[in-house]
Amino acid sequence: MTDRLLLLADDLTGCLDAAVQFSRAGVSVLVTAENPVAITDSGPGVVAADLESRHLAPAQAAARVEECVRAAARAGIQRFYKKTDSTLRGNVGAELGSLIRATGFQELYFVPALPDANRITRGGIQYVEGLPLDRSRYARDAADPVREASVEAIIASQTSVSVTVVSRGADPAPALLSARRPVIVVFDAETNGDLEVIARLLADRGDAGPRTLARRAAPTQSRPSRSSVFLPLHGKVGWTPA
């Protein structure tokens, strides 16, 4: 199988949560928590790596992502799907920056909303149960308190990669025209319908989205990647929330 994908997660729960979406699509999945992750040039369609990096120092988390991505690249994997926490705890910025640097890609699409859990993104601000993230119960999280509600600010606190926000239902093309590359494109979304709109907008660009769309990114042996509905193509990376 040449159309393989590396799924990166910062904890085991999130890793399994995203991996099962691919399994349900009939794709073989290997879940591994070994560190460093060993990736061969043949094997299952998806390698789901639990990096256990959420509670590390940002530099350590970034190093784990880079090491794993480079190992995958050596094995011929060029498609990546990043699992993050939808309350943006942990090392989101550091890991995002490391992923985009390690791949050399110029665009990364990030959809942090998870409407089914009442976690939405509006005007680039993350809301949880109707409250801005920094006023939610996650602001008091014992291990990883969240001090910001702005997705851009959270990312920028750990990486210098530029960030641009795309409004609900908007086409990302105008934002990309003026963005400094490499760039992380954050999408507003408040409903599952919004996620479907984003999927359609990115179908030709081929980027993965949130958990609810993970099955659309499933690797396949029977069709070329450009013909699939929602696949990361060479030169792009996707993100999915908890």
Q: Taking the domains of the chain in order of start, what are their residue ranges?
A: 5-240
What is the per-residue pLDDT for 169? Answer: 87
What is the per-residue pLDDT for 231? Answer: 29
Per-residue buried b or exposed e for 134-157, using 16+ beta carbons within 10 Å of the residue's own CB: bebebbeeeeeebebbbbbebbbe
What is the per-residue pLDDT for 241? Answer: 57
What is the per-residue pLDDT for 178? Answer: 87
The architecture CATH gives domain 5-240: 3-Layer(aba) Sandwich (3.40)
What is the per-residue pLDDT for 206? Answer: 39
How far apart, in Å, are the Cα atoms of 169 and each of 36, 208, 235? 40, 17, 24
What is the per-residue pLDDT for 217? Answer: 52
What is the per-residue pLDDT for 227? Answer: 21
What is the per-residue pLDDT for 35? Answer: 81
Between CA 59 and CA 159 the distance in angstroms is 10
Which residues, at least 6 apart from 177, have a Cβ–Cβ distance to it below 8 Å?
Answer: none
Between CA 185 and CA 103 the distance in angstroms is 16
Other Cβ atoms within 10 Å of 43 Cβ, number: 14
Q: Residue 151: in which H helix or E strand, if any?
A: helix 151-156
Q: Would you state the torsion angle of the CA atoms of residues 91, 94, 95, 98, taken in this order, to the nearest 10 degrees?
A: -170
Q: What are the average pLDDT values for consecutive 10-residue runs of the chain, which has 242 residues?
A: 82 90 85 87 89 96 95 90 91 94 89 92 97 95 92 96 93 87 93 86 50 49 27 40 54
What is the per-residue pLDDT for 109? Answer: 87
What is the per-residue pLDDT for 78? Answer: 85
